[in-house]
Structure 1
Amino acid sequence: MSTAPRPALTPAAGAGRGPAAGPAAGDRPARVGRRSRRGYEAVSGWLFVAPAVILFAVMGLYTVGYGFLLSFAQWNGFAPHWSWVGVQNYKDLLWANPAYAPRVRHAATHTLYVMIAVPLLTVLVSFPLAVLLNSAKRLQALLRSVYFVPYVTSGIAVFFAWQYILQPDGAVNTLLNTVGLGSLAQPQGWLGNPHTALPTMIVVTVWGAVPVAMLLYLTGLQTIDRSVLEAAQLDGAGWWRTNASVVWPLLRPITAIVVLLNLRDSLQGFQTFLVMTNGGPGDHTNVLGLEAYRLAFLKDLAPTLGLASALGWLLFAAALVLALINLRVLRSKT
């Protein structure tokens, strides 16, 4: 029985392109729809962030640029026009003007003392406190909240409370007289004596800076692998040796952050000095931030807003240099 050979099945013309072209043609509207949906989402996103961007542009970029231009001019805040003086404001602050340069140098000396003492004392107090708090087995959350109270309490209220405590008849002098250390009491008050005013302000500043530093150290301590500490103890290291040779080097990045934050606050902060002493007695607690505030707002109608702006930009430049140095040191040790 013979059969005729079947003819070869060949696709018709265009049959091969049909199935391939069909999905592509069907995907085109889908791609257009996805593009339009992405465009709609982008526009919606920009509309949502537009208020914040506009606010930042007005209150941030415009203000910064305005202040930078003002540092090259003389203006009292009321005159309709500036008087352009170029870099003369910077010269007057640094050496040229005998009325401003000595005050700025005097304030810079006090600021340098604060910048050295506050970060150092903050680290010396907060690190042992964090170690002790980390070793507490009970009431750790309560103790942590108690130590953090100075930071969350209203600053103005705390500063006035400190003023009351440090007065001639305040709690500090009363306590010293009660325990038989009346010779250490200050009849003028701790803020009224030129020799004790600046150290007292440094202590108050450290008291306000310790809570954040302590929590940073506590967070770092809780991330250290327990096996590292157990290995040190198996090698015979005691509590002191373990914390000095193992824990402290591991927390060096946190120490750099604590130092940088306190350097910034010591260089640019002035609220504590403004509320508690206003630079007194005399100018023994005057710092650069407070001097910039005085130049801007406490010189009546004198054209010193440009000087205040110039001093602010000098402080910004110093803070930027300190931040870069701190970052460089941190990178070299990690």
Structure 2
Amino acid sequence: MAGSRSAAPGAAAGRVPSGCQGPLGRPAPGGGPASAAGRAARAGRRREALTGYAFTAPAVLLFCVMGLYTVGYGLTLSFAQWNGFTPHWTWVGLDNYADVLWRDPRYAPRVHHAALNTLWVMIGVPLLTVAAAFPLAVLLNRAGRMQAVLRSVYFLPYVTSGVAVFFAWTYILQPDGAVNALLGQLGLGSLRQPQGWLGNPDTALPTMIVVSAWGAVPVAMLLYLTGLQGIDRSLLEAAQLDGAGWWRSTASVVWPLVRPITSIVVLLNLRDSLQGFQTFLVMTDGGPGDHTNVLGLEAYRLAFLKELAPTLGLASALGWLLFAAALILALVNLRALRSTT
């Protein structure tokens, strides 16, 4: 009896579940239904991955050809001298960067003046955008039923063709345009600009800053509106219970909570102010007297305008300097964003 009792556990330990046995009672190769299901799942995942790769391959290939190749070509061109027509380049190394920064008296002073104008744009546009977009988003968040209509109206400038909007602004700012006419009707004729707001060297750049900020407000307003709608209402109710009014709640509760969105808005406007030039090209072409010339427009001029003895190498060098500055700004803004969250 003792022997039979001692043999029972061993026999039980040596048994294999019937679902995992072969036809002769031996364990089935592969571990049975569980292993078969695992193999099927892995095969399904492989097929899914291959399908995904097949769908993304054309886009990746197009990006490699039109993106990476173009970027590499432009970087190589910044170390060469070429006017776009001769079959061969002249390798000059870092001379293009030295020429646009300080060495060449034909190009360096123009770049310095354009950099100063760009700096003013980079300061003015983000400040005006935040100052206009945040109050509009706060008011729009309290609009109730009219919110959808007002949101569409405020966003309309962004979806309208940029060239058409810029030409419209040009007509509005002319000597006989709507701005001067409105000032005359309001009894502020002393503020009218006989040369037009874009023709006066003292008002041309500030006017362009206002126009650029006007075009950037819609996106910034929607970003702020999204952040405002995500704020927990209990925080505002707690502030009101503590005696805080609307202004105090907005300044002490709402504004700190949307600070990350402010960082994003500032970064987007800094990038556009540093690299964009379409507005200045269409409305002023850098005039009057280069008072609205910015770095992006100067790079365009170096590349394509004959009066500046065009060289694509100098334009590419200036473009890469702008890219480096934009990258530094992005890293600084990212660090500041992490410190606030």
Equivalent residue runs for 1:162-201 within 5 Å: 162-201=169-208
Tell me, yes or no, if structure 1 residue 55 matches structure 2 residue 62: yes
Equivalent residue runs for 1:308-323 within 5 Å: 308-323=315-330
Normalised by the length of structure 2, the TM-score is: 0.89
- Contact 2:304–2:310, Cα closer than 8 Å, also in 1: no
- Contact 1:76–1:301, Cα closer than 8 Å, also in 2: no
Offset, 1:20: 5.1
Equivalent residue runs for 1:76-87 within 5 Å: 76-87=83-94
Offset, 1:21: 2.7
Equivalent residue runs for 1:277-292 within 5 Å: 277-292=284-299
Paired residue for 1:333? 340
Offset, 1:51: 1.3
Equivalent residue runs for 1:1-334 within 5 Å: 18-19=24-25, 21-22=27-28, 24=30, 39-299=46-306, 302=309, 304-334=311-341
Whichever residue aligns with residue 209 of structure 1, its letter is A
Quick one: structure 1 residues 33 and 328, their matched pair in 2 at CA, closer, same or farther if it must change by over 3 Å?
Answer: closer
Offset, 1:24: 2.7
Measure, in 2, the Cα distance between the counterparts of 1:54 and 1:19. 55
- Contact 1:150–1:208, Cα closer than 8 Å, also in 2: yes
Residue range with higher mean Cα deviation, 40-49 or 289-298? 40-49
Whichever residue aligns with residue 139 of structure 1, its letter is M
Whichever residue aligns with residue 58 of structure 1, its letter is V
Residue range with higher mean Cα deviation, 224-233 or 134-143? 134-143
Measure, in 2, the Cα distance between the counterparts of 1:198 and 1:327. 29
Whichever residue aligns with residue 196 of structure 2, its letter is G
Offset, 1:111: 0.2
Quick one: structure 1 residues 144 and 20, their matched pair in 2 at CA, closer, same or farther if it must change by over 3 Å?
Answer: farther
Whichever residue aligns with residue 142 of structure 2, its letter is S
Question: Per-residue CA shift, 1:256-315, capped at 9, x if unaligned?
Answer: 000000000000010000000000011000000000011111136945100000000000
Quick one: structure 1 residues 22 and 100, their matched pair in 2 at CA, closer, same or farther if it must change by over 3 Å?
Answer: same
Partner of 2:287, secondary structure, is coil
Whichever residue aligns with residue 65 of structure 1, its letter is G
Question: Per-residue CA shift, 1:4-41, capped at 9, x if unaligned?
Answer: xxxx9999xx9977445326387688777766655554
Normalised by the length of structure 1, the TM-score is: 0.91
Measure, in 1, the Cα distance between the counterparts of 2:142 and 2:43. 58
Quick one: structure 1 residues 24 and 261, their matched pair in 2 at CA, closer, same or farther if it must change by over 3 Å?
Answer: same
Offset, 1:137: 2.4
Quick one: structure 1 residues 196 and 34, their matched pair in 2 at CA, closer, same or farther if it must change by over 3 Å?
Answer: same
- Contact 2:302–2:310, Cα closer than 8 Å, also in 1: no
Question: Per-residue CA shift, 1:140-183, capped at 9, x if unaligned?
Answer: 11111111111111101000000110011111111111111111
Measure, in 1, the Cα distance between the counterparts of 2:237 and 2:186. 44
Task: State the number of aligned residues.
Answer: 328
- Contact 1:74–1:303, Cα closer than 8 Å, also in 2: no
Quick one: structure 1 residues 53 and 237, their matched pair in 2 at CA, closer, same or farther if it must change by over 3 Å?
Answer: same
- Contact 1:292–1:312, Cα closer than 8 Å, also in 2: yes
- Contact 2:97–2:314, Cα closer than 8 Å, also in 1: yes
Measure, in 2, the Cα distance between the counterparts of 1:37 and 1:247. 48
Residue range with higher mean Cα deviation, 138-147 or 281-290? 138-147
Paired residue for 1:4? none
Measure, in 1, the Cα distance between the counterparts of 2:308 and 2:86. 10
Whichever residue aligns with residue 187 of structure 2, its letter is G
Paired residue for 1:5? none
Measure, in 2, the Cα distance between the counterparts of 1:38 and 1:250. 42
Offset, 1:136: 1.5
Partner of 2:27, secondary structure, is helix
Structure 2 spans left out of the alignment, 5+ residues: 1-6
- Contact 2:274–2:295, Cα closer than 8 Å, also in 1: yes
